[in-house]
A and B are shown apart, each in its own frame.
Chain A
Amino acid sequence: DAGVTQSPTHLIKTRGQQVTLRCSPISGHKSVSWYQQVLGQGPQFIFQYYEKEERGRGNFPDRFSARQFPNYSSELNVNALLLGDSALYLCASSPELRDRVTNFGGQPQHFGDGTRLSIL
C-alpha cells in the first residue's frame, strides 16, 4: 500500500508570494495533520483535519490555511510568504482520532517525505 504522499518535493518562492502544498493520506486514513519543521528543530503542529473538519490549529498566523477534501486528501496554503516560512512541511495521516473499539486515542501518525519550501 502507498504511504503518505506529498507534492511537490521541493519548492522555491519569493517573499510575498502564495504557495499550495498537497498531501494524500494512506488509503483508509481519515485524519490529516500538517507540521512545519525548521532546520535543526522538531516539527511544530499547524493543523489537523478529520472528516473534512478542522480539529486543531497550532500557533500560526492567519496566512496559513488548510482544507480537506471528500477523498481525505488535503492542501496547505500559505499567503504572503516570509523568509521565516522556509522549512520542511510534513503531512501525517492516521486512521481515526480514536480507536473505534477501545475509544482510546494515541493513534500513531504516519508521515510523508515532506515538501521543502525555500523562500528567497
Chain B
Amino acid sequence: AQTVTQSQPEMSVQEAETVTLSCTYDTSENNYYLFWYKQPPSRQMILVIRQEAYKQQNATENRFSVNFQKAAKSFSLKISDSQLGDTAMYFCAFMKHNAAGANSKLTFGKGITLSVRP
C-alpha cells in the first residue's frame, strides 16, 4: 500500500516571499504520478501541479514548481511570490500507474495549512 506523509501541519509566509511545502511518500511502484492539490476555505479541491515519476524534469506551473527526488521519495512544492489568495490547505497526493482494468484512486496526505500574511 502507498502512504503519503506531510509532517508540517502549518506554515506561514509573508506576501511576495517564497515558501516550500514538504511531502514524502512510500511505494514499491516504479511508475506513478504525484499531485499537489489546494483546498481554500471554500473547500473545493483545486489541482495545482502534476508530476510523472518517469520524467526527471521537475514540473512547473507559473509560480508553482516541484522538487521531485525519486530515490528519496520526496515531492516538495515551492510557491514563489506568495499571494494572499494562496492561503489554503495543501495536499500532496499519489496515484499508481494503473494497469488495464484497475482504478486510478488518489492517496492523500493529511495536508498542510498555509497562511500568507499581508
Contacts and interface: CB of A to CB of B under 8 A. Distances in A.
B7 interface: no
A108 interface: yes
B105 A56 contact: yes
A97 B91 contact: no
Contacts of A43: 45, 91, 106, 108
A114 B44 contact: yes
A86 interface: no
A31 interface: yes
Interface stretch (B62-70, B78-86, B93-101): B93-101
Contacts of B72: none
B111 A94 contact: no
B103 A56 contact: yes
A6 B109 CA distance: 24
Nearest to A33: B105
Given A108-B35, A113-B43, A41 B50 contact: no
A118 to B, nearest CB: 14
Given A41-B111, A45-B105, A98-B98, A106 B33 contact: yes
A83 to B, nearest CB: 21
A26 to B, nearest CB: 13
Contacts of B103: 48, 50, 55-56, 97
Contacts of A65: none
B97 A106 contact: yes
Nearest to B107: A45
Interface of B: 4, 32-33, 35, 37, 42-47, 50, 52, 91, 93, 95-98, 100-111
Interface of A: 31, 33, 35, 40-45, 48, 50, 55-56, 58, 88, 90, 92, 94, 97-98, 104-114
